[in-house]
């Protein structure tokens, strides 16, 4: 079933929409959540939460790209689950590794000023990302948005893990310079 048809089912409040969305995207959403949580059981729960959130928000929302919309809901649910589960300790997941890699570029984000200006920072990073070569943009998104392990990204590009590490390292350095120039970091 096409995304537009699934969204139409959501708009008609037809419960078949949830089943169709899960059938079409469920395994990919579980995989996304699992990269954050490293637990298939928790990942399935997050996908269920994301599908419920889609049910609650469509309508009034009418996503043009249903998969991207569901990815965002799943990612947020997984991050919330990870925070609840790891509030007192840190575990070794792709989520932690990705945050550690980006920490020297964007800081911890804990200060109230950074929280208030999060939208502006997002726009600044998006502008930087649009100016990057296609391969850098894709590798950056796969690593830091989809949280794919380095070896999986290398597999997608048909290159070595070392090359992907190099691309991401140069991208982080470039992002750091851009954020310095824009006054986000010192």
pLDDT in tens, 39-79: 888 899 999 999 999 999 988 888 889 998 999 899 889 88
Q: pTM for this structure?
A: 0.57
Among the three residues 21, 50, 85, which one is the final residue of a domain in this structure?
85
Among the three residues 47, 63, 85, which one is the final residue of a domain in this structure?
85
CATH of the domain at 160: 1.20.140.160
Spacing of C-alpha 3 from chain mean position: 20
- Residue 60 CB neighbour total at 10 angstroms: 6
186 located within any domain: no
User: 124 pLDDT band (50/70/90 cuts)?
Assistant: confident
Cβ proximity of 98 and 153 under 8 Å: no
Q: State the total domains in the chain.
A: 2
What is the span of the domain harbouring residue 115? 94-181
Same domain, 10 and 79: yes
Dist. CA 78–CA 49, nearest whole Å: 9
Spacing of C-alpha 7 from chain mean position: 21
Spacing of C-alpha 10 from chain mean position: 23
Same domain, 58 and 107: no
| Sign of the dihedral defined by the CA atoms of residues 10, 35, 98, 154, in that order | negative
Same domain, 31 and 81: yes
Place of tokens 């609650």: 56
Same domain, 99 and 175: yes
Please write the tens of the pLDDT for every residue from 68-114: 899 989 988 988 888 777 654 554 566 666 666 666 565 555 555 54
Same domain, 130 and 71: no
């Amino acid at each position: 079933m096409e995304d537009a048809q699934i969204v139409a089912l959501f708009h008609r409040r037809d419960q078949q929409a949830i089943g169709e969305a899960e059938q079409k995207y469920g395994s990919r959403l579980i995989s996304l959540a699992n990269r954050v949580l490293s637990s298939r059981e928790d990942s399935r729960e997050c996908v269920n939460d994301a599908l419920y959130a889609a049910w609650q928000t469509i309508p009034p929302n009418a996503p043009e790209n249903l998969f991207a919309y569901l990815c965002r809901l799943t990612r947020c649910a997984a991050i919330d689950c990870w925070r609840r589960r790891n509030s007192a300790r840190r575990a070794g997941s792709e989520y932690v590794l990705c945050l550690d890699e980006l920490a020297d570029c964007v800081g911890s984000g804990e200060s109230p000023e950074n929280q208030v200006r999060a939208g502006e920072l997002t726009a600044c990073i998006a502008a930087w990302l649009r100016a990057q070569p296609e391969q850098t943009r894709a590798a950056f998104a796969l690593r830091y948005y989809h949280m794919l392990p380095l070896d999986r990204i290398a597999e997608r590009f048909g290159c070595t893990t070392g090359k992907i590490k190099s691309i991401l390292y140069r991208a982080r350095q470039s992002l750091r310079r851009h954020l310095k120039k824009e006054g986000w970091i010192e």
